[in-house]
Structure 1
Amino acid sequence: MRLKLGCCITLHGGDTIKVGFIGPGKVGVSLGRYFTHKGIKLSGFYGRNIENTKQAADITKSEFYDNIQDIINESNIIFITTPDDIISIIDNELSKFDLKNKSFCHTSGSLKSNVLCNAKHSGALIYSIHPIFAFSSKATNLDELEKIYLSIEGDIFDDSDIISLIKTLGNKHFIRKEEDSSTYHLANVFVSNLTLSLLEIGVGYLRKLGLNEEDALNALKPLVKGNVDSIYEKGFVNSLTGPVLRGDISTVEKHISVLEERDKDLYKILSLNLLELVALRSHGNMDGTEKTQENYTNSNYEKEKLIEDLFINSKKHEKIYKLLGGLD
């Protein structure tokens, strides 16, 4: 296969590669719009909901399919952009067809490519291609999609249609191993879904003071944004602020006294993690090394040694550690 820069992807014979979508939801339509923006030819959309599927085809100026065999015939690459629990059902449908020279990709971050094992047995190349992005609308800003990373797992080889597609998109990407899928998805959930939950808990404490959700969010927005910007500019260790860093025992005690019972374990676990970063920062200050997490391993022994060194020089941090349940 050869790649014509700045236009459609083509096969050896010069035929244009066409990309189809099974699933006309937020992810499928957003990616379809983005692919078209990048000069990639779409075949169209297939879905169970006819109205949504026709709308997706209209938005992307592509074809509407009411028969799965037709979209298979008309596409070289098909993205399955359905809810996770539907993917294996679609895979069973795909097993009825000859899929030689076809590539099938699902966009789930939690499922391995081998959820499409029946498609593979029918001759297809299979992939999990996960955009690291929260799609909240079919009208996703295309400029935002320019910035996202893609993670890829599956039948990777240099001359594949998928690699050519990724190169045409120009997005940064990395290849992950099949056995790392759960760890990979966990990372995404921590910084997306669980962060949302953590922010909601913080907003809840301002609501107790009488603020509504909108005012609470607006009040906290500069704090959240400033913290995130600092992390990207200086890293985690060098962005530390707050009572755990300062060794402010009385503030931590007051926090614990007003915490809702359900939030106490969460507060302590997260604060203990902060204390590990404080220990790393303190270690860097003492030996003159650059203070980043790259400078130490993630072994429990290494972390415990850093914390012990911190306590030698700071009894107030040792007391905070005890308050947080770090010592019996």
Structure 2
Amino acid sequence: MNISKKKFCIIGCGRLGVCLSVFLSQGFTPACFASKSPDSAKHAAAMAGEGIVYKDAVTAATACDLVFITTPDTQIKPVCDQIAKGGGFTEDSVVFHLSGALSSDVLKTAQKTGAAIGSIHPLQAFAPYERGQKSPFSGINISLEGADQAVALGREIVVALGAHSFTIPTHAKTIYHAAAVVASNYLVTLEHFALSLLKEADLDEAVAYTILEPLIQGTLNNIKARGCVNALTGPVARGDDQIISCHLKDIDKKTPQFSQLYRVLGKHTLEIAASRGDLDSGGKERLAALFKE
């Protein structure tokens, strides 16, 4: 496999494709662009400052050994299949996609041509690129999985982006992505829950967040320093069923849409608290009954 020139091709010129083409410049060169929308491909090339826009994915991939398929998830396999069928991959090709939820297995048709396949997933949300902006890749964590040759090159790519890499098994890609959703998206849901409760205390959202922010940051710091089990505090950790009972009565009355969520979270929080071994059996049983109702 020979990719010493490290010229790369972007197939799919949305937010991520544009950011990758702009910031993967340390030792790599954006050479080829193709997208469902020709205007998007032209925009990506203009932002990168170099590279040729091709009319289709097959001809673009043919011109480079390093190919990034940065389309929406549902289009990764069809685009890969199209390029493979059209002869756009060779045994010198390295093909990556950047989906969080899909593994490199979705690129099997490229592998059958002799190409090395892999996935690169930045744990970051990407806004539309603006000239002069700071790199959204700087200092973030990026997962790698796939063929050994692809993962090895992936590490070079991550270093060039100024990020940090870690590897996961191919079979674990979906559960890894679920973890990212819980840590990011569902954290938003939890804070929305908390802010909605404070709204019932006549605090508007902006003020409520300012009040909660030090507590949120302190909790994250404690998790980092001590781990989840030892970072847990509060009435469940203390076995205070009377306080939890009061919470539930108020939530059921004022914000019943959150009653089930509070109980589900409480049930799993109780499991964490119980794992420390310092809850008396009576308190544990009373809390379990409250969360079961």
TM-score category, normalised to shorter length: 0.7 to 0.9
**TM-score under structure 2 length normalisation:** 0.85
Q: Which residue of 2 aligns with 1:288?
A: none
Q: Which residue of 1 aligns with 2:182?
A: 190
Letter in 1 for 2:48: T
Task: Output the CA distance in 2 between the equivalents of 1:195 and 1:111.
Answer: 22
Task: Output the CA distance in 1 between the equivalents of 2:151 and 2:203.
Answer: 57
Task: Output the CA distance in 2 between the equivalents of 1:210 and 1:57.
Answer: 51
Gaps of 5+ in 2: none
Letter in 1 for 2:33: F
Does residue 225 of structure 1 match 2:225?
Answer: no
Gaps of 5+ in 1: 2-9, 284-309
SS at match of 1:225: helix
Q: Is the Cα–Cα contact under 8 Å of residues 150 and 174 in structure 1 kept in the other structure?
A: yes
Pick from 138, 155, 159: which aligns with 1:146?
138
Q: CA deviation at 1:24?
A: 1.8
Q: Is the Cα–Cα contact under 8 Å of residues 137 and 162 in structure 2 kept in the other structure?
A: no
| Residue correspondence of structure 1 range 81-120 to structure 2 within 5 A | 81-95=70-84, 96-100=86-90, 101-120=92-111
Q: CA deviation at 1:178?
A: 2.3
Task: Output the CA distance in 1 between the equivalents of 2:87 and 2:250.
Answer: 62
Q: CA deviation at 1:169?
A: 4.6
Q: Is the Cα–Cα contact under 8 Å of residues 128 and 154 in structure 1 kept in the other structure?
A: yes
Once the two structures are superposed, what CA deviation does each residue of 1:78-112 show, in whole Å capped at 9, x if it has no partner?
Answer: 11112111112212321212411111111111112
Once the two structures are superposed, what CA deviation does each residue of 1:40-86 show, in whole Å capped at 9, x if it has no partner?
Answer: 22214321223332222222222241322342133221111121111
Once the two structures are superposed, what CA deviation does each residue of 1:210-267 show, in whole Å capped at 9, x if it has no partner?
Answer: 4443333333222222221221122212222221122222221121112233422321
Pick from 27, 36, 46: which aligns with 2:34?
46
Q: Percent identity?
A: 29
Q: Which residue of 2 aligns with 1:26?
A: 15
Q: Which residue of 1 aligns with 2:258?
A: 263
Q: Figure out how many residues of one structure are paired with residues of the other and give that number.
A: 285
C-alpha distance 244-159 of structure 1, shift in aligned 2 (>3 A) = closer
Q: Is the Cα–Cα contact under 8 Å of residues 157 and 163 in structure 1 kept in the other structure?
A: no
Task: Output the CA distance in 2 between the equivalents of 1:30 and 1:167.
Answer: 15
Task: Output the CA distance in 1 between the equivalents of 2:211 and 2:49.
Answer: 42
Q: CA deviation at 1:136?
A: 3.5
Task: Output the CA distance in 2 between the equivalents of 1:136 and 1:167.
Answer: 21
C-alpha distance 267-31 of structure 1, shift in aligned 2 (>3 A) = same
Q: Which residue of 2 aligns with 1:58?
A: 46
Does residue 35 of structure 1 match 2:24?
Answer: yes
C-alpha distance 70-175 of structure 1, shift in aligned 2 (>3 A) = same
Q: CA deviation at 1:177?
A: 2.2
Q: Which residue of 2 aligns with 1:304?
A: none
Once the two structures are superposed, what CA deviation does each residue of 1:144-200 show, in whole Å capped at 9, x if it has no partner?
Answer: 523222222222238954454345556432332222222111111111122222222
Letter in 2 for 1:92: D
Pick from 111, 124, 130: which aligns with 2:115?
124
Q: Which residue of 2 aligns with 1:311?
A: 280
**TM-score under structure 1 length normalisation:** 0.77
Task: Output the CA distance in 2 between the equivalents of 1:136 and 1:228.
Answer: 25
Task: Output the CA distance in 2 between the equivalents of 1:251 and 1:264.
Answer: 15
Q: Is the Cα–Cα contact under 8 Å of residues 98 and 123 in structure 1 kept in the other structure?
A: no
Does residue 322 of structure 1 match 2:266?
Answer: no
